[in-house]
Amino acid sequence: MKNFEKKTLMKQQTAKRAAFTGALAAGLIMLPGMLGGTPALAQKQQKVGCGDLFYNGLITPTEAKTKPNKHGTVELDKVERVELDEAEQVARVYLKGQKQDAQPLRLCLLEQNAELISRLKENNVDFEEVSSANGRAAVGLLINLMWILPLVALMLLFLRRSTNASSQAMNFGKTRARFQMEAKTGVKFEDVAGIEEAKEELQEVVTFLKQPEKFTAVGARIPKGVLLVGPPGTGKTLLAKAIAGEAAVPFFSISGSEFVEMFVGVGASRVRDLFKKAKENAPCLIFIDEIDAVGRQRGAGIGGGNDEREQTLNQLLTEMDGFEGNTGIIIIAATNRPDVLDAALLRPGRFDRQVIVDAPDRKGRLEILQVHSRNKKIDPSVSLEVVARRTPGFTGADLANLLNEAAILTARRRKEAITQLEIDDAIDRLTIGLTLNPLLDSKKKRLIAYHEIGHALLSTLLKYSDPLNKVTIIPRSGGVGGFSQQILNEEMIDSGLYTKAWLQDNITMTLGGKAAEIEVFGEAEVTGGASNDLKVVTNLARKMITMYGMSNLGLVALETQNSDVFLGRDWVNRSEYSEEMAIKIDRQVRAMATTCYQEARRIIRENRALVDRLVDLLVEQETIEGEQFRKIVSEYTQLPEKQQLVVSG
C-alpha cells in the first residue's frame, strides 16, 4: 500500500511539472508575436512617408524636364527598371546610369496601381512584381525558433530530473557492491608474504571454488564464512584480493558502512539484493571489509533494539544461514575488532572459521621486505635481514611505508640507490619523528645529553635489559629533544612472555634519565622531561602487580587486559577489587618505582666520570652508535654478560 501511495504521489508531481512546463511554453510562444508585431499606427505612418517620390512624380511626362529630388519628380525616360512590392506597398525605382551599389528610389503605391503600370508600358520601362513576404516569414520563423529551442531544452531537463528522481527512489535499496565477473585484482598468493599460516587456511577456499568435488566426495562442507581478524595493516584486504585473483570466480566487494543509511529498511534491502545477485552468479565470493560497522552487538546503546543497523545485521544473519541455503557462496569479512561483533555472527554456520592475520615475525618481515623491494633500487650493501631484525612489531603496511620513505629520502639526497643510511633514517622517522635542526651548544643541550646518557648507560650496564642501538640528541618533531634506542628482544615482544628481571631492569633503565638529572644538576634544576618516562614506569609496575602476579599481593589477576568501556556492555568501568586492595596496589607500585629509581641513581653516582665523558662525546658528535658506546663503557667497567632469554610457547 505504501509503495502504491509513493507511486501515485510521484505521478502527481510529474503531472504538475508537465502542466507548468506547458503553460510556460505557451507563454513563451506567444511572446514573440506580441513583441514582434508592428502597431497599426506605425504601419500607417510608414506608408505615408515611405517614398522618395510622390506617386504622380514617376508618371510625370518627359516634357516636365525636372530633376529627381526628395518627394519630387523623375522623368520616365531616365528610369531603367521598376520593382513593385505589393507586400510592402513600395516601388523601387532604378535609374539609368546609376551605380550598382546605389540604393533605388522608393515610391509609395496605392491599393490599385493601374495608371502606373499603363504609363510604364507606354514608355517601355521594365517592371516586375517582387514580394518580401518570404523573407519576413523566414525572419519570423527564426525568431520563434530562438524562443522555442531553449524552451524544449528546459522541458527535457525537467523530464530528465523527474525520471532520475523516480529511478533513484526505486534503486535506493539496491546493493552498492562492486562486481567483477572475473576478479582481475592483479594479486596472487605469491604476492602475499609473512602470513603463511593464514594463506594455508585460505587456500582451502580457493580449492573448493575450483574443485568442489574434492570435498563433497568425502562429505566435507566448506565454511560459509571466513573472518579475517588482525591489527590494521597486516594484510587482510590484500588476502581477500589474493583469494579472488586465485579463484577466478565472480567477486563482490563492499564495505560494512555502505549497508547502513539514515532511512529505515535500506540496509536490509541492500543485503537482500546483494545475496540475490550472488545466487545468480554462484559459485562466487563476497568480501565485506570492516564488518564491525554493521555487525556490532545488538542491544548496544540507549536507542533500543530496533534501529537501522540492527535490522541490517538481522537480515545479514538470515541470509548467511537462514531457511534457504546459499550454495556456492563464500563470504569473507575483515575486521580488527572481533570483540565487538555479535555472537550470532560468529557461531558455526555463519563465520565459523576465524583466520588470525597477525603482525609478522622476523622471517615474515624479511619476506615482506623482499616483496616490496622488487621495484626499488637498493644498494647491494643493504642487508634486509638486518632491517627485519630492527623492525619488531612492524606490519606489512609499515614495512611498505618504510621502504617508500627510504626511497623518498634517496631521491631527495640525489643518490642512485637506497643505502642503509636512508633505511635507518626512515625507521627513526616512522618510530620517533621527523628530524629537526640540531640544538646549539647550550645548557639545554647538555641537560638533554645527560638525560639520554642516563638511559643509554643503564641499558648497557643492567644485566637483563635490551642492548643499546644508538643514542642521539638531535631533536625530532613532537617535542622529542633526543632519544636512546634499544635493540628489542623480539622473542619476548612477540610472545608477550616478560620475565620479572627484564621488567625490573626496564623500569630502572626508564628512570635513568631522571636519575642522571638529579645526580648532576640537583633537585632545584630537575626538569619535566621525564613525564613520559614516569607514565611508562607506572604502567609496567602496575601490570607486574595486578596482571602478572609479581608481588606479595598473591597470585590474583586484579585487572583485565582491556578495561576500555564499550557502549552496550558497561556504562561504568566497574572496579574489580575493593578500596583496601586499591590502596595496597598503589603502595606496591610506588615501592617498586622507588626501589628501581634508587638503583638507577646508585649506578649513575658510581659511574659519574664515565657519564661526564659520554656526555662530552655526545655533545660533540650528537649521535653515538651502540658499538662505540659499549666500547667506551668497557674501558671503565666490566660489562655484564647479557643472558639469552629462552621463551617457550
> Which residues does the annotation mark as catalytic?
452
Element (H, E) at 251: strand 251-255
The distance of Cα 381 from the centroid of its chain, to the nearest Å, equals 37
Element (H, E) at 128: strand 126-130
Considering only CA atoms, which of 479, 510, 469 is closest in space to residue 592? 510
d(CA 8, CA 14): 10
Task: Report the b/e string of 514-551 with b at 16+ CB within 10 A.
Answer: bbbbbbbeeeeeeeebbeebeeebeebbbbbbbebebb
Residue 164 grid coordinates: 532520475
Which position has the grid cell 605469491?
190
d(CA 276, CA 261): 20
- Per the CB < 8 A criterion, the answer to whether 253 and 220 are in contact is no
Instruction: State the virtual CA torsion across 545, 549, 553, 558 in degrees, nearest 10.
Output: 70
Sorted by sequence, the CB contacts under 8 Å of residue 40 that are 6+ apart come out as none
Cα 350 to Cα 197, 224, 225: the distances in Å are 22, 6, 5
> Residue 235 in 3-state DSSP?
coil
Sorted by sequence, the CB contacts under 8 Å of residue 516 that are 6+ apart come out as 450, 451, 453, 454, 457, 604, 611
Cα 323 to Cα 299, 320, 346, 510: the distances in Å are 24, 10, 18, 60
* Terminal-residue alpha carbon distance, the chain: 64
Q: Would you put residue 376 in left (φ > 0), alpha (ψ -120 to 50) or beta? A: beta
d(CA 373, CA 483): 29
> Residue 458 in 3-state DSSP?
helix
- Per the CB < 8 A criterion, the answer to whether 391 and 363 are in contact is no
CA atoms within 13 A on the CB side of 643: 12
Instruction: State the virtual CA torsion across 508, 509, 511, 517 in degrees, nearest 10.
Output: 130
Dihedral angle sign, alpha carbons of residues 102, 106, 112, 116: negative
Task: Report the b/e string of 79-88 with b at 16+ CB within 10 A.
Answer: beebebbeeb
d(CA 67, CA 381): 111
d(CA 531, CA 514): 9
Q: What residues are paired with 108 via a beta bridge?
A: 90
Cα–Cα–Cα angle for 469, 474, 480, rounded to 5 degrees: 90
